[in-house]
Amino acid sequence: MTQPTAKIAVFGDIMIDSYWMGSTERISPESPVPVVNVNHTENRLGGAANVALNISKMNVDVTLCGLVGIDKNAADLMTLCQENQIATDFIAEASFPTIVKLRVISRQQHIVRCDFEEKPQLTESLKNRIITQAKAIIDQHDLIILSDYNKGFLTDPQALIQYARSQGKIVIIDPKGSDFSKYRGASLITPNTSEFEGVVGKCPDETTLFAQAEALRDQLQLDALLVTRSEKGMTLFEENKESVTFSAKAQDVFDVTGAGDTVIAMIATQLAKGTPLPEACKIANVAASIVVGKMGASYVTQEELDYALGQSDRPHNLVLSKEALLHEVKRAKMNKETIVMTNGCFDLLHRGHVKYLEEASKLGHHLIVALNSDASVKRLKGETRPIMDEVSRATVLASLSSVAWVTIFDEDTPESLIKAVLPDVLVKGSDYQVNEIAGAQAVIDHGGRVELIDFIDGYSTTNAIEKIKASLQTEASKA
């Protein structure tokens, strides 16, 4: 029976990220600043709410708790959460205006950011409300995130940490400030390099950083410490274990806003699904490489993550089942990559085959070779064929740099497989007519095309077999 996914609660500083976007054609006559003609406005979930959004997009149950005002911005936050399947348990305070960060953007560049915020006045009464409400939420969830943006809600997080840990809950914290002692006893904290060095001092080399990290983890009685290190990736320090560094993934960085939110959200969702912490950090590292390529606070979809993980983990050439092949094709099409497909027996691979496959591969990004199984070859060519078994034939084909994926089919023709893949380009030899090619019409109907490639004269498997037979007969007659 499948283990149910744990439920996650996010506590922290909640805000709206507001974007005003437009064109810039002139400089203001009043002062030397650009004039932005705003033509689009958009509100997004920010701060701790962006953490909850990233969790929700991974199809994990999440509840968001934080301080908001009694104002239109709080109502807008509630609507955005409802639209994104985030349960809310806000603490509304009339004296506290909901935080808004307004970014004015033109031509994909930030022109200015305006913050509308006030530190909350945490009276004893308000503190008690927060702790009482938070404890009730903690009781109903398995994993707790504290998303601290240093806006006042998590000024004293110890009450929440101690209560959650006493109830056997995992507590993960995205920290802020120069005093990390307030996070003592957490399961994991995830500072970036700047935040980390703000606490332990400058680390001029890895030896110093690693020593300081181990000392800080021990001092704060943390189960683990993850330092996110920008282009150097991330390094995980766990109690009684060797540190692990996850290399940064090559990616054009468009905007680092919200990258830390994605990291902590992804770690939490993976732990909620039962993934070990090192593997969860590895996945979070890949997710962060995706989100920095987007504008502003954003999130990663499951499809984007699956594709990126597949790209980072898979070898170049693979022999795949039909199901695995279709998964790879889906990933490639998401990335707008062209799929080319051909088929055949490819018994006794020769120069003609290699040249044919090289030409086919030039028609797109990925060439699929659909290979007749042994049983299929026997039905088509007789009991003496194939010469090489299907595993050997597939392995040799997969070793060619021109071939991305090989899959074996058992039918007489690959028509059903081609209909499932629906490649952009279907390739066959020029000895065929288009109307004779299995699956051709399905490809054309789907907007693809069929290409016919000439074979090199004088090369065929049948001829090669006949030469081998003649050679053997000659040798036998001499014996």
**Domains of the chain: which residue ranges?**
7-309, 319-465
Q: What is residue 328's predicted lDDT score, i.e. its pLDDT? A: 82
Q: What is residue 126's predicted lDDT score, i.e. its pLDDT? A: 92
d(CA 417, CA 111): 52
d(CA 292, CA 308): 13
Q: Which residues pair with 372 in a beta bridge?
A: 409
For the beta carbon of residue 81, count every other beta carbon within 10 angstroms. Answer: 22
Cα–chain center distance at 83: 22
Q: What is residue 249's predicted lDDT score, i.e. its pLDDT? A: 63
Instruction: Could you please state the CATH topology (level 3) that the domain comprising 319-465 is classified under.
Output: Rossmann fold (3.40.50)
5 is in an annotated binding site: no
139 is catalytic: no
Say yes or no: domain 7-309 is CATH 3.40.1190.20. yes
Given the residues 13, 61, 255, 261, select the one marked as catalytic.
261
| Overall pTM surpassing 0.95 (yes/no) | no
257 is in an annotated binding site: no
83 is in an annotated binding site: no
Specify whether the CB–CB gap between 9 and 62 falls below 8 A.
yes
Mean pLDDT, each 10-residue run in order, the chain (479 residues): 72 95 91 92 94 92 96 96 96 93 88 91 90 96 95 91 96 94 97 94 94 96 93 89 80 55 93 91 86 69 73 59 86 84 90 91 94 93 88 90 92 95 94 90 94 74 59 61
Determine the 3-state secondary structure of 56 from DSSP: helix
Residue 30 CB partners (closer than 8 Å, separation 6+): none
Q: Which of 128, 126, 168, 123 has the alpha carbon at shortest distance from 144?
A: 168
Q: Which of 107, 100, 83, 84 has the alpha carbon at shortest distance from 13?
A: 100
Q: What is residue 290's predicted lDDT score, i.e. its pLDDT? A: 81
**Is the Cα dihedral 425, 431, 434, 437 positive or negative?**
negative
C-alpha distances out from residue 427 to 40, 178, 331, 350, 432, Å? 46, 62, 21, 18, 10
Rounded (10°) CA dihedral 58, 59, 60, 64: 80
Any idea which residue has 């000439």 for tokens? 454
Q: What is residue 381's predicted lDDT score, i.e. its pLDDT? A: 87
195 is in an annotated binding site: yes
